[in-house]
């Protein structure tokens, strides 16, 4: 079997797989940092979402299937190592909903990476709130929605800005 050339499909798949492994590992490190450092500012349920950086980078560089795989793998492994079953369930609900929304917004080509990330931050919190409401069978938990909406917007914007600068730097190396 010949060695994959720079432009072959096999070389491209290998590059994407290696990049995915690196991004999943980096996402896991970011998840660990968020698990051990209190970023909540005294408000329960609020995180910076720095692990979402790798998902956005993957979505914009590798495509949806790689980004989704990185997201799910990171959440499941982080759940096993740091957050437990319930933490993984909440994270997965938020991540899948936010990923679907980010993917749809990205496909429209009408939103910047900051807008896509902000929508992801908000819908991640919505997904977690829906799971919490189902778990405790009490709709009063939705009184917490304004806090989560605001925090999702702020953290999503911050992650989007950081992602923008990272992608600008990465594109130099990927061409």
Which residue would you say has higher pLDDT here, 19 or 175?
A: 19
**What is the pLDDT at residue 22?**
96
2 found inside a domain: no
3-class secondary structure, 47: coil
Give the single-character DSSP code of 111: S
3 found inside a domain: no
Confidence of residue 127 (pLDDT cuts 50, 70, 90): very high
pTM of the model as a whole: 0.89
Which phi and psi (to 5°) does residue 20 adopt? -60, -45
CA distance readout (Å), 86 to 27, 76, 122, 171: 19, 11, 20, 37
Domain count, the chain: 1
Q: What tokens were used for 22?
A: 């690196």
150 found inside a domain: yes
Q: What is the pLDDT of residues 107-125, one digit of tens each?
A: 999 999 999 999 999 999 9
> What average pLDDT does the segment 75-103 reach?
92
76 found inside a domain: yes
113 found inside a domain: yes
Q: What ranges in the chain are assigned the alpha helix state H?
A: 9-36, 52-61, 64-78, 84-108, 113-136, 145-174
55 burial via Cβ count (<10 Å: 0-12, 13-18, 19+): buried
Confidence of residue 34 (pLDDT cuts 50, 70, 90): confident
**What is the pLDDT at residue 174?**
66
Half-sphere exposure for 24 (CA within 13 Å, toward CB):
20
Planar angle of CA 123, 73, 127, nearest 5 degrees: 20
The lowest-confidence range among 12-16, 39-43, 105-109, 140-144 is 39-43
Q: Which domain holds residue 100?
A: 9-174
CATH assignment at residue 67: 1.10.1760.20
> What average pLDDT does the segment 141-154 reach?
92
In the chain, the percentage of residues whose pLDDT exceeds 70 is 91
Confidence of residue 138 (pLDDT cuts 50, 70, 90): confident
Q: Rounded to the nearest 10 degrees, what angle do helices 52-61 and 145-174 cross at? A: 50
1 found inside a domain: no
**What is the pLDDT at residue 40?**
63
């Amino acid at each position: 079997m010949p060695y994959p050339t720079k432009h072959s499909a096999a070389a491209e798949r290998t590059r994407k797989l290696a990049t995915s492994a690196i991004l999943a590992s980096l996402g896991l490190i970011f998840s660990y940092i968020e698990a051990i450092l209190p970023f909540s500012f005294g408000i329960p349920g609020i995180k910076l979402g720095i692990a979402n950086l790798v998902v956005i980078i993957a979505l914009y560089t590798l495509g949806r299937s790689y980004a989704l795989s990185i997201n799910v793998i990171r959440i499941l492994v982080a759940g096993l190592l740091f957050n437990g079953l319930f933490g993984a369930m909440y994270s997965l609900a938020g991540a899948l909903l936010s990923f679907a929304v980010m993917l749809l917004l990205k496909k429209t080509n009408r939103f910047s990476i900051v807008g896509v990330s902000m929508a992801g931050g908000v819908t991640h919190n919505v997904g977690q709130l829906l799971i919490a409401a189902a778990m405790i069978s009490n709709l009063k938990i939705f009184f917490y929605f304004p806090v989560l909406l605001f925090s999702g917007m702020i953290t999503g914007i911050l992650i989007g800005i950081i992602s923008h600068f990272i992608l600008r730097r990465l594109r130099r190396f990927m061409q």
